[in-house]
Amino acid sequence: MTERFSAREAIALAGDDFRELPVPMREFKPDGPLSWQGYDDSRRRALTRTGEDESVVCGTAVIGSTRAVLIAFEFGFLGGSLGERTGDRVEAAYTHARAHRLPVVSLVATGGSRMQEGMLALTQLQRVARQSALAREAGLPQIAVLRDPTTGGGWATLGAGADVTLALPGAQVGFAGSRVRPSDADPAAYTAEAQMAAGAVDAVVREEELRETLALWLTLLTAPAAEAEGEGEVESEAASGGEVEPVPPPAALGAPGLPATGWDAVRHARSPERPRAAAYLDAYFSRRAAIGGDRCGGSDDGMLCGFGSGPAGRTVAYAAQCGTATRPAGYRTAARLIRLAGRLGFPVLTLVDTPGAANDAQAERQGAGSAIADLFAAVATARTPVTTLVIGEGGSGGALALAAPGNTWATPDSYFSVIAPELAAAILKRPASEVRDTADQLHIRPQDLVELGVIRGIVEHAGR
């Protein structure tokens, strides 16, 4: 179990120059809206114990070089539960964020909705969800940090609903709190690490790395700050109505020279010496931060997604295949990335390198077809430009789903094909000796693809 920090200790971990926002005033009749006997006494004891008069502390702070709105839960105050006054403060914090165009960072530690306020407490989740949706519509980034514990509606709104979800090691994370789970439930399933493995958390971040991690994310997800009423104001190109320009494709990193035959193109693309996605991302970005997981129960190490500081320091979103058969979770993560980039106003770079979509029985059970369809739709309806570079194997629809129509490029050591030559020969009932000839007939070399109009061009090597 991770250490349980108070709200103000968590704020101090995250940033500096904290300025608390004015507190909305709501009068309750004795013992609250349900006249729950002893509720006022419980609140008074919580105030004495924590020094706080409600379960959240809201304000602004500077994280790195970016001012952000902070919503910090105080678990010591009635288990960090959400009541009407909690909802008032969260709503006021989001209203301030929209008025000043500030990103929102939620430092979550909650047991859920407050029983002493009944359904009035539960409906606060609708208020919180609406505020989060309004922030998304405004193009404002939202980052959640999951502390111990993060359960119930707080997890299902501010936590799981954030654009980027980070967690402290060992934190309890799950919709079901520890006292309402099945008696035989495995406690390990309700942890930050388990949620990351299930694709619901982007990264588990150690306490001493939290400030630096948040600073990097906020720098990447916000435009350069300007001063407005004494506070940093951020606005993406898309949110301000500006046009987002596409990014240039990376330069080629592999061996120079175009393949003489279709089979040569296949051999070059499958060579173990050929640079993979990580090499291209390292060369293209000065720094980057990764998202992970499809938010549907899965993750795929063969699809790298995130945001980086690209050419001229410009933030670019990226989704890159790593040369393996792409799992359904990989396609869903890429679709999530492209839609997030569109909301925040950032161009997208995709790197194609896969022999094809995973086609095992598990992939089918995980919805391979719907996942690929979703990615096709995300690329087709992208709100910001998508640039694609084929850096290795371009295997059928599993590769094409990640490719930008009209803005796809290729390296000299790549190929793109309707199907792998071996599989094409098998379908056509040709012997293995005819696989090489089949590769030629498919016209899969980079220069063939240019001639066919499938790609815009072949990128040159760095330094040329």
> 206: burial class by Cβ within 10 Å (0-12, 13-18, 19+)?
exposed
How far are the Cα atoms of 88, 161, 271, 446, 447 from residue 124, in angstroms, in the given order?
9, 15, 56, 56, 59
What predicted TM-score, i.e. pTM, was given to this entire model? 0.93
Can you tell me the distance from the alpha carbon of 347 to that of 310, in angstroms, rounded to the nearest whole number? 10
In this predicted structure, the answer to whether residue 3 has a pLDDT above a threshold of 90 is: no
CA 303 remoteness from chain centre:
13
Cis preceding linkage at 385, omega within 30: no
| Mean per-residue pLDDT, 352-375 | 96
The H or E element that residue 131 is part of is helix 124-137
CA 179 remoteness from chain centre:
30
Contact 435, 422 (CB under 8 A): yes
Chain segment 82-93, per-residue pLDDT in tens: 999 999 999 999
Chain segment 264-290, per-residue pLDDT in tens: 999 999 999 999 999 999 999 999 999
Helix (H/G/I), strand (E/B), else coil: 218: helix
How far are the Cα atoms of 275, 392, 396 from residue 252, in angstroms, in the given order?
9, 11, 22
> Which of 7-11, 205-209, 239-243 has the lowest average pLDDT?
239-243
Contact 231, 102 (CB under 8 A): yes
Beta bridge partners, 104, equal: 69, 142
Rounding to the nearest 10 degrees, give the CA dihedral for residues 354, 356, 359, 363: 50
In this predicted structure, the answer to whether residue 237 has a pLDDT above a threshold of 80 is: no
In this predicted structure, the answer to whether residue 230 has a pLDDT above a threshold of 70 is: no
Can you tell me the distance from the alpha carbon of 129 to that of 132, in angstroms, rounded to the nearest whole number? 5
Residues 6+ apart with CB under 8 A from 46: 52, 76, 77, 78
Between 197 and 243, name the one with better pLDDT: 197
Query: How does the average pLDDT of the chain come out, rounded?
Result: 93
Chain segment 39-66, per-residue pLDDT in tens: 999 999 999 999 999 999 999 999 999 9
pLDDT of residue 187: 82
How many of the other CB atoms lie within 10 Å of CB of 455? 25
pLDDT of residue 179: 73
Chain segment 109-166, per-residue pLDDT in tens: 999 999 999 999 999 999 999 999 999 999 999 999 999 999 999 999 999 999 999 9
Write out the E strands in 311-347: 315-321
Can you tell me the distance from the alpha carbon of 177 to that of 143, in angstroms, rounded to the nearest whole number? 22
Contact 175, 163 (CB under 8 A): no
In this predicted structure, the answer to whether residue 234 has a pLDDT above a threshold of 70 is: no
Give residue 227's pLDDT band: very low, low, confident or very high (50, 70, 90).
very low
Phi-psi region of 334 (alpha: psi -120 to 50; beta: other; left: phi over 0): alpha
CA 67 remoteness from chain centre:
21
Beta bridge partners, 357, equal: 326
